[in-house]
């Protein structure tokens, strides 16, 4: 992969990462009242179970993108 291809791929990865980041931000969190009703204070729940699954899925994709971006920068 030449430098131009690496740069293009890196830009594409960053755009996808930012898109996923915005998707996570757009997922509604529980109200503060609902958050305060949680029994386990050591594990704060911010989302409904369905929304938490989405957040986890997006975060896993984001981690994969970060790893690929690092590899793209390392490959010569």
Residue 41: DSSP 8-state: T
| Tally of structural domains, the chain | 1
The answer to whether residue 75 is domain-embedded is no
Does the reported pTM lie above 0.75? yes
Phi-psi region of 29 (alpha: psi -120 to 50; beta: other; left: phi over 0): beta
pLDDT tens-digit map of 30-65: 998 888 887 776 788 899 999 999 999 999 999 999
Could you tell me if residue 76 is inside a domain?
A: no
Determine, yes or no, domain membership for 7.
Answer: yes
Instruction: Show the domain range for 41.
Output: 3-70
Query: Which residue in 33, 28, 10, 21 sits closest to 58, CA to CA?
Result: 21
| Residue 46, φ and ψ in degrees, nearest 5 | -105, -20
The pLDDT, as a whole number, for residue 75 is 60
Asked if the structure places residue 62 within a domain, the reply is yes
């Amino acid at each position: 992969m030449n430098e131009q291809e690496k740069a293009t791929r890196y830009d594409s990865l960053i755009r996808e990462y930012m898109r996923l980041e915005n998707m996570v931000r757009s997922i509604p969190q529980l109200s503060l009242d609902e958050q305060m009703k949680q029994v386990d204070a050591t594990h704060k729940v911010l989302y409904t179970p369905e929304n938490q699954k989405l957040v986890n899925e997006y975060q896993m994709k984001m981690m994969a993108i970060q790893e690929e971006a690092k590899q793209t920068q390392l490959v010569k």
